[in-house]
Structure 1
């Protein structure tokens, strides 16, 4: 018996590269913004309303979270 792929299955496979590119961009953005957050001094953190403990918590996260 031959198995036939429907359009739904082929469309989902076609979206995989797009999904992967979006994930990579998201991970890059998280890495970049966390690097910028790490570079802020106490005054700048206060200006944006972030405490030192919030910064430490954010910087301890892996890039995929």
Structure 2
């Protein structure tokens, strides 16, 4: 007799509401921190003040896919 040890395959689940909110909060915090950096720190990471301000003004839900959990 054959036993199946796994359940049926299902579609990948979507992130939970809490996980989505947590990710958005992280984006918001990162953008606030970016805006607070001084010009020397921005130069160290290869950004201008203008680029940092442009990124900081973006909405918290407007995040690249690579930032998402």
SS at match of 1:63: coil
Q: Which of the pair is proportionally richer in helix?
A: 1
TM-score by length of 1: 0.66
1:20, distance to aligned residue in structure 2 (A): 1.2
Runs of 4 or more consecutive aligned structure 1 residues displaced over 6 Å after TM superposition:
none
Specify the alignment match of 1:6 in structure 2. none
Q: Distance in 2 between matches of 1:49 and 1:24?
A: 29
Question: Counterparts of 1:1-65 in structure 2 under 5 Å?
Answer: 18-65=15-62
- Gap regions ≥5 residues in structure 2: 1-9, 63-69
RMSD: 1.9
1:36, distance to aligned residue in structure 2 (A): 0.8
TM-score by length of 2: 0.63
